[in-house]
Structure 1
């Protein structure tokens, strides 16, 4: 297939957690012989923050992990959709695009576009910013890929689309995999952004306070930490590492004994079954994970085996002590979580699901499932 993807950014993961999954999907599609073109807006906020804060050399480092990564920058005012989409079989438009572009692509599809057009939603805004999401004009789209059943159902119930599929995020196991563990640099690592005060109390209860009370050696990576947050980390004796390139997470996980997952409140309260990308990342890297409560309504994992669940701060302390002081238990939990990722939750699994969606949309099987000879010709 010839596939065109409109993303906010594939180059930058600064405050852009979706980059992991989007990069992995592109890699998997290309490995199967599909021709993939990515478009992202010039001067996008994520890439601009990355370059301003860390320099363009970080883009060279990215290519060490994703050697074939490439993108096409466009200006909303000058993009020529006839040129961009003239031979596409499938077009995916991510929800971080501007309303006007989403509408214009839909109109292009209605005015003779031969491709199948799908909207891709990977955020909680359909619940938390419903008015803004309702303004996306999806009349001419063939359907929506939603990263959880609750979001999928909402699109259908609100009449925003006539067809929708659940398409969870997953781990790019070409980059997220267990690294050899040497002498640990510390006890606990946490990778995550502070998050618009959506989980401030939870971060104190399940992360900062337990580390402080147990006297653990810990390090936290992420962006958008306000002064009060950095002060709380310092008072708890937690090192703050700032932004960590997403592709380096596996290397950092290997230096610590345990990590935790603290989902944002919108996911816990309004979006059961959606864990975000973070647990997929940790489990794929083979580090024991302890999570604060969330409802695995779609049975993605086996809570208690793939990861431990702490219902409150006291249970978090108990679980942390168990994992840190009992290497066999730590190995057991990590191995179970890793096996679940490898068997069900890789980007290859998600591309398999995408191919089934393409079949349902009526794209010819000969385009979806390339022969080995066709793949070889593409690689050549």
Structure 2
């Protein structure tokens, strides 16, 4: 197939947690012989922040982890959809795009009709900012890929889409896999952005306070940390590492003994079944994971085996010290179980399998979806 993807950015993961999954999907599609083109806005805020803060050399470094990764920059004023989509079989438009772009691509689909068009939603805004999401004009879209059942159901219930499929994020195991470190640099690592104060209390209860009270050696990476957050880290003796390129997470996980997951409040209160990308990343890298509570309503994992659960700050302290840090055998057991679950069910290859089934349902010719064995062999050469 010729597949065209409209992303906020594939080059930058600065405050752009979806970049991991989107990059992995592109790589997997290309490895299967599909022709993939990515479009992103010329002055996207994530890429601009990356360049301003860290320079163009980070884009060169990205090529070491994703050789040949590329994009097409556009502005809404200059975008020529007739040219860009003339040979497309499938077009995916991610929800981190301007309303105007979403509408224009839909109108182009209605006018030309030669490709299938899907909206891809990987955010909690369908629940937390329903009015803003309802303004996306999906009239001429063939359906929606939603990263959780509750989001999928909402699109259908609200009449925003006539078809919707659940399409969870997953790990790109070509980049996120267990690595070896010569020696551990500390006890605990946490990778995550501070955000919009929607989990401030939770970060103190399940991360900052336990580290401080146990006297652990810890390091935290992420962006958008306000002064009060940096002060809290310093008071707890936690090293703040700033932005970490997403593709370097596996290397950093290898240097520490444990990590934790602290879901944002909307996922805990209104979006059961959606873990976000962070647990996939950690488990794929083979580090023991302890999570504050979230409801695994879609049975993606086996809590207690793939990862441990701490229902309070006190329980987090117990799980960290007693269960993991003082019991290397138990730590390895949890890490191994989580890794095997990822490899068996939650890789980008699994998600592309699901996407191909959606393409079948949309009546895209099977000869375009699947290469024959002969074609696959030629492609691999």
How much has 1:371 moved relative to structure 2?
Answer: 1.7
Asked if 1:130 corresponds to 2:127, the answer is: no
1:278 aligns with 2:278: yes
The separation in 2 between residues aligned to 1:161 and 1:113, in whole angstroms, is 18
Q: What TM-score results when the alignment is normalised by the length of structure 2?
A: 0.99
Name the residue aligned to 1:148.
Answer: 148
Distance in 2 (alpha carbons) for counterparts of 1:60 and 1:202: 36
SS of corresponding position for 1:39: strand
Distance 1:376 1:337 in 2: 33
* Corresponding position: 1:14 with 2:14: yes
Provide the alpha-carbon RMSD of the alignment: 0.8
Q: Which residue of 2 aligns with 1:157?
A: 157
Cα deviation, residue 195, structure 1 = 1.0
User: For residue 179 of structure 1, what is the aligned residue in structure 2?
Assistant: 179
Query: What's the CA shift for 1:68?
Result: 1.9
1:49 aligns to what SS in structure 2? Answer: helix
Q: Distance in 2 between matches of 1:59 and 1:373?
A: 36
Secondary structure of the structure 1 residue equivalent to 2:170: coil
1:209-248 to 2 correspondences below 5 Å: 209-248=209-248
Note if 1:335 corresponds to 2:301.
no
The CA distance in 2 between the partners of 1:339 and 1:377, in whole Å, is: 31
Q: Distance in 2 between matches of 1:135 and 1:227?
A: 35
The answer for the alignment partner of 1:287 in structure 2 is 287
State the secondary structure of the residue aligned to 1:144: strand
**Once the 2 structures are TM-superposed, how far is the Cα of residue 376 of structure 1 from its aligned partner?**
4.7
Offset of residue 185 of structure 1 = 0.1
Structure 2 match to 1:320: 320
**Cα separation, 2, equivalents of 1:113 and 1:230:** 52
Kindly state the Cα deviation for residue 182 of structure 1 after the two structures are TM-superposed.
2.7
2:4 partner SS: strand
Q: Deviations over 1:178-218 (max 9, x none)?
A: 00143110000000000100100000000000000000000
Q: Which residue of 2 aligns with 1:361?
A: 362
Closer/same/farther in 2, CA of residues 93 and 190 from structure 1, 3 Å limit:
same
Q: Within 1, Cα distance between the matches of 2:130 and 2:361? A: 28
5+ residue gaps, structure 1, are: none
Shift of 1:373: 3.0
Post-superposition CA distance 1:57-101 (Å, at most 9, x none)? 000000000002110001111100000001100000000010011
Deviation of 1:374 (Å): 2.5
Q: Tell me the distance in 2 between the aligned counterparts of 1:174 and 1:227.
A: 36
Counterpart CA distance in 1 for 2:20 and 2:208 is 26
Secondary structure at the counterpart of residue 256 of structure 2? coil
- Per the normalisation by structure 1, the TM-score is 0.99
Aligned to 1:75: 75
What does the per-residue CA deviation read over 1:218-245, in whole Å, with 9 as the maximum and x for residues that have no partner? 0000000000000000000000000000
Secondary structure of the corresponding residue to residue 40 of structure 1: strand
Distance in 1 (alpha carbons) for counterparts of 2:17 and 2:64: 19
Cα distance, 1:108 vs structure 2: 0.4
Task: List structure 1 runs of 4+ shifted beyond 4 angstroms.
Answer: 376-380
CA distance in 1, matches of 2:232, 2:317: 18
